[in-house]
Structure 1
């Protein structure tokens, strides 16, 4: 009888199919770490530019291609830039508002002066002029002084008082009072030159203005220009009469390009009234 051969059971081999996804996972992790490393080494400035471009898109910009760097933003790495930018914008806005208010103040003051001139029939003796640096009140000398004198006429004191009352309504402005003469030489015991006469006339008129105790003397300055800043031709009688004058100048506090020289006629006129 034949002998049956007994076969030993085969040893089971473990399933190795999991190695394929595991290798894929390792490859993906390696790629991820390489990307992270590359991002960490990216130039910070370029990254910020890209960030700003995306910010434009997500906050109302028209698209990445429309992003422009013509007006660079403050460097976010500099905290002082971010602190200073809003402060500068606020200060500029405040300054523009103060300039607007100042313009309105000076226009109102000019209108009050023009109304006074018209109501009192003084158009041949007084005029006003508002320009980029100041409001100038020009008074011919024959309305204030006798020839060769610096004593204010009694009837002219009323004019000085009225001007002071109007100035009182607009405090805080620096004011110059400037005397001017023609080129006819003067030489007497009291005034050896036109410099002296013009300076004393400015001083005497300013003193009457400051009799109004509401005005601040530290904001006033008298000065004499003599014959050296004429506004007309000294070759004619009329020209010399125009040159003999006192100018009261109310100086702007907010000027983009200050051009004040203390001489009203040397600055371009924006508004003028007689």
Structure 2
């Protein structure tokens, strides 16, 4: 009897090569979730640290899950994620720094305003000076009666001390731009010195600014004089009281970090007697 050769049946094994791209896909998904978490974090420093550690883990060295492919997709995704993370960090850090600068500026201007208000109160000048702080500037408004004789731009001798006191307070914040602006009422002027309210308002602003700049601690490049004549009234010119309010000099300390998205809110304080 012939022997029949018995063939052993071999178990067929499934192709497991798909596990490599699958594991790489899982790695990318984990990376995606980490990026999404990092983008939601508010601490930019921790965000940067995590981004660096994450990038180093993905881009450096080989591992059991490493899968080589001719496709550039993986590299492009890693670079794209890193670029996005860096952009978010830069944006968040910039916004945070700007917010801090605005907060510090607000604190400084409020401090300066309180000093002006205290000076006004101590010297019984509440009818002649006032202050206003808004999202654009800190403005000190000075009635023309406190500074000039009628129709003239020369600062009165007794008023020069006022200008010196203001300059002393301004020197605490030397980096701010300062605008000195003259205003008049609408009564026409025509004398040997001035042919219009324009000329008078400009000269008044200039003369007052010159006294401020006698203080050597102030930087002249930060100061600008301008005159608006009768064209920016703050009260009616139909009454004597209104015209008196319109004749004024305004010294404005201009903000450096304005927030255009914030609704302007004036904080006006005319010191009570």
Q: TM-score, normalised by structure 1?
A: 0.76
Corresponding residue number in structure 2 for 1:68: none
Q: 1:160 aligns with which of 146, 158, 163?
A: 163
1:76–1:82 Cα contact (<8 Å) kept: no
Q: CA deviation at 1:82?
A: 2.9
Change (3 A) 1:143 1:81: same
Corresponding residue number in structure 2 for 1:273: 270
Change (3 A) 1:168 1:54: closer
- Would you identify which runs of 4 or more consecutive aligned residues in structure 1 move more than 4 Å? 34-40, 47-51, 53-57
Corresponding residue number in structure 2 for 1:102: 105
> What SS is found at the alignment partner of 2:10?
helix
> What SS is found at the alignment partner of 1:20?
coil
Equivalent residues, number? 231
Corresponding residue number in structure 1 for 2:116: 113
What do the CA deviations read for 1:149-196 (whole angstroms, capped 9, x no partner)? 000000100000000000001121000000000000001121110000
Q: TM-score, normalised by structure 2?
A: 0.76
The within-5 A match list for 1:206-225 is 206-225=209-228
Corresponding residue number in structure 2 for 1:70: none
> What SS is found at the alignment partner of 1:235?
coil
5+ residue gaps, structure 2: 41-76
Change (3 A) 1:271 1:217: same
Computing the radius of gyration from Cα coordinates, the structure with the larger value is: 1
Cα distance in 2 for partners of 1:174, 1:124 equals 27
- For the aligned residue pairs, the C-alpha RMSD in angstroms reads 2.9
Q: CA deviation at 1:272?
A: 2.7
Cα distance in 1 for partners of 2:240, 2:261 equals 34
> What SS is found at the alignment partner of 1:105?
helix
Cα distance in 1 for partners of 2:159, 2:185 equals 21
Q: CA deviation at 1:50?
A: 7.8
2:176–2:222 Cα contact (<8 Å) kept: yes
Q: CA deviation at 1:247?
A: 0.1
Q: CA deviation at 1:142?
A: 0.5
The within-5 A match list for 1:51-200 is 52-53=32-33, 76-78=78-80, 79-200=82-203
Corresponding residue number in structure 2 for 1:13: 5
2:181–2:225 Cα contact (<8 Å) kept: yes
Q: 2:238 aligns with which of 235, 238, 242?
A: 235
Corresponding residue number in structure 2 for 1:257: 260
